Structure 1
C-alpha cells in the first residue's frame, strides 16, 4: 500500500483557497489540458509569428512557466512520468509500448488521486499515450484506474488520411512531415469534438467537484487543421531558424542519431517551410479549442472554482541546429515545453516565472492546490510557492533523458539543466558530452564540454547528473523499434 504524506502546513496557509474571501468552501475543480508535441510556439512565450490569443489569455490569467522541462522527450514515457510524479528510471518506461503499471502496479496516478478523494475523474482525448493517428478513437495505452468516465472522439481527420500530404512516403504519416488543410469546421475534427465533449462533461458535473483531463492530438503529425488556420501564416512569414554554418561540428553525432542525421530529412527548403506553416496552423487550431474551454468555464460561472493547467508532453524541433525536426533530442527545444497554471486567488497570477521546474513537479503542485494528501514516493516537488511569488529564487534543476536505438547497443542520453548551464552525456560520456552556457549561448551553438576552462563546471554537473538519472541503457524491458 502506498504510504501517504500531508501537504505542508506552510503552503496550505499561503494559498488557503477554501478560506479566500468570497470563495465557496467546496473543493476546487481541475481542468487539465494537454497538447501533443507543442513547443513554445506561442505568442506569450515570445514566438514572433504564433497567433495564439487564447493561450495568451490563459497566461495573462495565471502563471506562465518559461522554463519547464520534461523528463523524457517521447510521448508514452513523458506522460507516464508526469501523471505519476515518478521519473522514467523509477517507472522503467522509456519506449512507446511499456505501461507504467508493469513496473508499478499500485502507483496512484494524479487523476486517480482525485478519484480516491471524491472527485469525478474524467478524460476526453489523449492524456496517456496513443499512437497517432492510428489509435485515435480508441483507449490507446490508457489507465482505467485513473478515470470514472472516458470519451474517445474520432473526427473526419481520421477518415480523410488519404488526402494528407506526406513529404516522406517511406515513413508513416505519424512520423513524417505530413499535413492537411482540412475542409469543414473545427467541430468536425477530432480535437474540436474533444472540446465539445469536454464542455458537455463540465456542464453535467458543474455541481460536483471534478478532475477533467482534456487531451488534444495536435500539433502532432500529421499536422491537420481546418483551412482557415493556414490563412494566419502566409508562407512569406515562415522562416527557418538561425544556426551558424559550423553548428554541428562540435556536437556528438549521437545527438542527432535516428532523429535527423540528415538536415531537414533531405527535404528541400520550400517544402520544409510548408511543413512549418502547417505546424503553426495546427497550433492555432488547438489554441482556438482552449478558447472554447475558457469561454465555457466563464459561462458556467466555474472560473473562480477551477484550477486550469495547460501543458505539452514535451518540446519539438522545427528545424533548429541545421535541420532537426520533432522530438527525442536533448537540446532545449525538445526538453522544454509550455506549462501554464491558473489557480484562483494566486498572488502570482498575471506574471511569469523564469525558474527551472520539472514535469514531475506538476503532480504534487496540483494536489497541494486542492489540499490533497500525496504519496510519499512522488519524486517532484510542489511549486505552489512559485505560483504565489514567481520571482522568488527557486534554484531548480531539471533532468531529462532519452533512450535511442544505436548501431550496436542502445544509447542513453542524460541531461541536466540549471539556470545557467545544460550538460549532456551520451552513455555516460563514452559517446560524447555537451556543455552549453545559457547566459551567453541560449541557442546552444557552442559546445564547451571539451574546453579545459570549464573542467570544474563539467565535473560538478556530471556528479549531479549521475546521482539523479541512469546514464546507460537499462536492464528493464524495452522495444528498440519503439524508442
Structure 2
C-alpha cells in the first residue's frame, strides 16, 4: 500500500509540474500551450502507469471473481435444449427488415435467424432504459415489482429468476454483462454459476485491482482526455464498452473452454453496439455520445446520428453471423433456444428528444423479439398479437420442458408465448411499460389497437398527464386523442387496466418497524462504476 501511495504521489506531482512547465514553455515558444502541455503530461502519465504496473502486488489485493452460485442439484430433462439470451441494447425494431420491410439496414445474418425463428411483431419492453428492462427479463416481473428502477437500486433479493430456475433444474448458467446497469452489484448475478461484468479496456499495465482505485480513475480520465485530443477527438469504443467482435469471441471461447459436456447451458450475452456512442463504421473514429452532446441540434445531427446507428446495426449483424456460424460448427445451433431481443429502442427526435429512458413512446417501447426454437420448430411463423418482455421467463421455462417449475410460480404477471401444445401464441394481454428516470415518471398500457400514456405533471420531456393514441391510424403515436372527448369508451377501460396493473404487484414488499414499505435495496457505486456510467451518459 505504501508503494502504491508513493507511486501515485510521485506521478501526480510530476503530472502537475509537467502541465505548469508545459504552459510556461509554450508561452516562451509563442502560444503552443496545448501541444507542449499534452506531450509533457502524457509522458508523466505513462511513467505513472509503469509505476502502477510495477506495484501490481499492492494494487490487486483481492480482484473480484465472477459470481458463483450453488451447483445444480438435479439433472436436466432428457434432450433439454441449451438457451442463449442474445440481448441487444437499445435496438429499435423498425431498423430490421423482419419488423419493417422498408428498414434502411442490410442484415443478412438476422434475416436468416428470423427465417429459422418465430417472430413476434408487436413486442413491448417493460421499461425504456437498461436496468429495469433487463431486470424484467431476468425476473419475469414489472419494474415496480422487481424494484430495480433507479440508477442506484438493485433487484429485490429473494426473487425467483430465470437463471435460478434453470440452474435448479440442471442447466449450467453463465452470463456476460456489458453495461454498468446490469452489474452483479445490482443483483443481476442471482442464479448464475458464473457471471462476468465486462468493462471498458483498462489503461496499459493496470491490473483488475488497480482499476478499482480512485487514483486510477483520476489518471484514466486525464489520460483519455489528453490522448483523445492527441487523436483529434476520435472515439475508441472500448473506452465505453466491449464491441460485438469481442462479445462473439468471448461467447465462442466460452463454448470451447468452459461449456460443460454433461448438461445443457443457459448463456446470457449482452451486445452494446446500438447503445451510444453511435459509431459511424464508414468513418472510423467518428461517433456520437450522449456524454458529449446531451441535446444535439436535429437539423445538424439527426441524419448523421441515425446513419451511424444503422451502421452499428450492420456491424453487429456481421458478428452475430460469426456467433450463429460458430454455434453451427460446434453442433450447438439446432438444439439451442436462441432468444433475440432488445431491452428498449432509441429516440432520434421522434418526439422532440434523444437517447432513451425519458418517455414510453413507441420508438422506445417497441422491441424486436424472435425465438429460434430447438430444431427450428415453427420456423418463419409471425405472431401479430401483443407480446411482452415480462413473458420471456415463462416462455423459456415452457420451451425447456419445465411446466412444473412454471406452475409453482403462481404470481408471475407474464404468460408463456408458447402454448401447452408447443404452438406460438400471444394472448392479447395488455402490454405495460413504465419509467422513472431523470424526473420523467410515466406508465403506458397498450392493447391491440390503442396506447394510453400517463405522466407526472411538469415532467422534463413535456409529456401531458394523459395521452391516448390509435396505433391503427397512428402507429408512431404522434396525435394525442385523450382530450378529444370522442373515445371515452376506449379511454376509461384502459385507465382501469393501468390502475389494476399498478395495484397488482404480487411481491410482498418488506416493511419497517413502523409498518411502512421498505424501498428496493440501494447499491452504492464505487468510482469505477460511476465513471463507466458517466461515459455512457447515465450520470
- TM-score, length basis structure 1: 0.73
Question: How far apart, in 2, do the equivalents of 1:457 and 1:92 lie?
Answer: 31
Q: 2:271 aligns with which of 208, 216, 238?
A: 216
- Aligned residue in 1 for 2:485: 452
Tell me, what secondary structure is at the counterpart of 2:486?
A: helix
Is 1:90 aligned to 2:124, yes or no?
A: no
Q: 1:303 aligns with which of 333, 353, 363?
A: 333
- Aligned residue in 2 for 1:331: 361
* Structure of larger gyration radius: 2
Cα displacement string for residues 191-244 of structure 1 (whole angstroms, at most 9, x for unaligned residues): 32221111122234263311111111221111247x35879xxxxxxxxxxxxx
- Aligned residue in 2 for 1:100: 155
Q: 2:129 aligns with which of 74, 83, 99?
A: 74
Query: Does structure 1 retain, via aligned residues, the 8 Å contact 2:237–2:277?
Result: no
- Aligned residue in 1 for 2:431: 398
Is 1:116 aligned to 2:161, yes or no?
A: no
- Aligned residue in 2 for 1:130: 180
Query: Does structure 2 retain, via aligned residues, the 8 Å contact 1:434–1:448?
Result: yes
Q: CA deviation at 1:351?
A: 2.2
- Aligned residue in 2 for 1:377: 411
C-alpha spacing 1:38/1:268, structure 2 compared with 1 (3 Å) = closer
Is 1:31 aligned to 2:84, yes or no?
A: yes
C-alpha spacing 1:456/1:39, structure 2 compared with 1 (3 Å) = same
Query: Does structure 2 retain, via aligned residues, the 8 Å contact 1:121–1:210?
Result: yes
Tell me, what secondary structure is at the counterpart of 1:115?
A: helix
* Stretch deviating more after TM superposition (56-65 or 373-382): 373-382
Tell me, what secondary structure is at the counterpart of 2:295?
A: helix
Question: How far apart, in 1, do the equivalents of 2:309 and 2:446 lie?
Answer: 27
Query: Does structure 2 retain, via aligned residues, the 8 Å contact 1:35–1:219?
Result: yes
Tell me, what secondary structure is at the counterpart of 1:43?
A: coil
Query: Does structure 2 retain, via aligned residues, the 8 Å contact 1:71–1:401?
Result: yes
Query: Does structure 1 retain, via aligned residues, the 8 Å contact 2:386–2:448?
Result: yes
Question: How far apart, in 2, do the equivalents of 1:96 and 1:388 lie?
Answer: 39
Is 1:145 aligned to 2:190, yes or no?
A: yes
Q: 1:438 aligns with which of 471, 475, 479?
A: 471
- Aligned residue in 2 for 1:175: none
Q: CA deviation at 1:394?
A: 2.6
What does 1:403-418 align with in structure 2 at a 5 Å threshold? 403-406=436-439, 412-418=441-447
Q: CA deviation at 1:121?
A: 0.6
Structure with larger RCO (C-alpha < 8 A, sep 6+) = 1
Is 1:59 aligned to 2:114, yes or no?
A: yes
Question: How far apart, in 1, do the equivalents of 2:294 and 2:177 lie?
Answer: 30
Question: How far apart, in 2, do the equivalents of 1:182 and 1:449 lie?
Answer: 43
Query: Does structure 2 retain, via aligned residues, the 8 Å contact 1:75–1:96?
Result: no
- Aligned residue in 1 for 2:450: 421
Question: How far apart, in 1, do the equivalents of 2:274 and 2:234 lie?
Answer: 10
Is 1:199 aligned to 2:228, yes or no?
A: no
Is 1:285 aligned to 2:340, yes or no?
A: no
Question: How far apart, in 2, do the equivalents of 1:285 and 1:467 lie?
Answer: 42
Question: How far apart, in 1, do the equivalents of 2:314 and 2:349 lie?
Answer: 19
Is there any run of 5+ residues in structure 2 with no aligned partner, and where?
1-75, 204-219, 505-515, 523-536
- Aligned residue in 2 for 1:249: none
Is there any run of 5+ residues in structure 1 with no aligned partner, and where?
1-16, 19-24, 166-177, 232-258
What does 1:244-263 align with in structure 2 at a 5 Å threshold? none
Cα displacement string for residues 280-339 of structure 1 (whole angstroms, at most 9, x for unaligned residues): 122222222211111011101112211100111112212213454433311111111111
Question: How far apart, in 2, do the equivalents of 1:386 and 1:315 lie?
Answer: 31
Question: How far apart, in 2, do the equivalents of 1:51 and 1:164 lie?
Answer: 32
Question: How far apart, in 1, do the equivalents of 2:187 and 2:381 lie?
Answer: 34
Q: CA deviation at 1:385?
A: 2.7
C-alpha spacing 1:223/1:285, structure 2 compared with 1 (3 Å) = same
Question: How far apart, in 1, do the equivalents of 2:470 and 2:202 lie?
Answer: 43
Tell me, what secondary structure is at the counterpart of 2:186?
A: coil
C-alpha spacing 1:206/1:144, structure 2 compared with 1 (3 Å) = closer
C-alpha spacing 1:429/1:319, structure 2 compared with 1 (3 Å) = closer
C-alpha spacing 1:394/1:440, structure 2 compared with 1 (3 Å) = same
Question: How far apart, in 2, do the equivalents of 1:89 and 1:182 lie?
Answer: 33
What does 1:162-201 align with in structure 2 at a 5 Å threshold? 180=235, 190-201=243-254
Cα displacement string for residues 123-166 of structure 1 (whole angstroms, at most 9, x for unaligned residues): 1233xx515xxx9xx7563533322123444565999965879x
Tell me, what secondary structure is at the counterpart of 1:78?
A: helix
Question: How far apart, in 1, do the equivalents of 2:234 and 2:386 lie?
Answer: 34
Question: How far apart, in 1, do the equivalents of 2:151 and 2:321 lie?
Answer: 31
Q: CA deviation at 1:360?
A: 0.8
C-alpha spacing 1:423/1:123, structure 2 compared with 1 (3 Å) = same
Tell me, what secondary structure is at the counterpart of 2:382?
A: strand
C-alpha spacing 1:344/1:73, structure 2 compared with 1 (3 Å) = same
Q: CA deviation at 1:265?
A: 2.4
Query: How many residue pairs end up in the alignment?
Result: 398
- TM-score, length basis structure 2: 0.66
Query: Does structure 1 retain, via aligned residues, the 8 Å contact 2:391–2:414?
Result: yes
Q: CA deviation at 1:29?
A: 0.5
